[in-house]
Amino acid sequence: MYRIYIIEDDRGIADAISDASELWGLEPHIAQDFRSVFEDFSAVSPHLVLLDISLPFFDGYYWCREIRKVSKVPIIFISSASDNMNIIMAMNMGADDFVSKPFDINVLISKIQALLRRSYDFTSDFAVLNHRGAALNTGDNTLSYGGTQIELTKNEYRILLTLMQNKGKTVSREKLMNALWQTDSFIDDNTLTVNVNRLRKKLDSAGLSDFIETKFGLGYIIS
């Protein structure tokens, strides 16, 4: 199910989009605190963002720039400020489409579905997983945070990929070991610990402290 993050301060419009999205099998999330849009974006890890221009605290252009620093997630602007200058600014900042208010909700849903198909149906191997401002690009196996790229070894990438794909769930050591070595042969349990500790040090150095939590006797979790 594709997750849609709706950054719209008109609650009536946001609710209408949310209701229509659910009818078409999408999973909508509406921004609640417009001071922490980026934190919510990282927590939701959406497949597509709907973004108004006029918002409390910071405008949509600001949030578009912040999202684009770490993610290539499709972004559709929805705004009544639909003059040519605003449309050009939105597209230049990384938007994929612009829908003018007032709009037909069915037309908007059609645009969302078309953009999701173009972005994921044929390029699903190149999705970007987001958490706490960190973006794991499955196309080139890199991690980005704070505008910088963090180099990962093959094992470090597989550990992060498995944990981020199961965000909020404890991943057993056995599952991680299988993801790393994909074998039924005996692997020293300490080898996984060494790999996780090296990854943690790399994340800590980049400013991502406590990114991976240990659930003693169970495994690891990104929550």
Q: Give the pLDDT mean for 112-124.
A: 74
> What pLDDT does 71 receive?
85
What pLDDT was estimated at residue 154? 83
Mean pLDDT of the 29-42 span: 89
Is the bond leading into 102 cis (omega within 30 degrees of zero)?
A: yes
Is residue 117's pLDDT more than 60? yes
pLDDT at 214: 92
- Closest C-alpha to 98, from 132, 68, 60: 60
Contact 142, 70 (CB under 8 A): no
Residue 161 has pLDDT above 70, yes or no: yes
Q: What angle do CA 116, 58, 136 make, to 5 degrees?
A: 40
Q: Among candidates 154, 123, 143, which has minimal Cα distance to 207?
A: 143
In the chain, what percentage of residues exceed pLDDT 90?
A: 24
Q: Is 211 exposed, middle or buried (0-12, 13-18, 19+ CB in 10 A)?
A: buried
220: which 2 tokens? 């690891």
What is d(CA 57, CA 74) in angstroms, rounded to the nearest whole number? 23
Per-residue model confidence (pLDDT) at position 182: 59
| Mean pLDDT to the nearest integer, 203-223 | 90
Confidence of residue 186 (pLDDT cuts 50, 70, 90): very low
Q: Say if residue 179 is exposed, middle or buried (CB neighbours under 10 Å; 0-12, 13-18, 19+).
A: middle
Residue 173's pLDDT is what? 86
Over the chain, what is the mean pLDDT? 85
Model confidence at 213, pLDDT cuts 50, 70, 90, reads very high
pLDDT at res. 125: 46
Residue pair 170/177 in contact by the 8 Å Cβ criterion: no
Report in angstroms the alpha-carbon separations of 96 from 102, 130, 170, 173: 19, 19, 35, 40
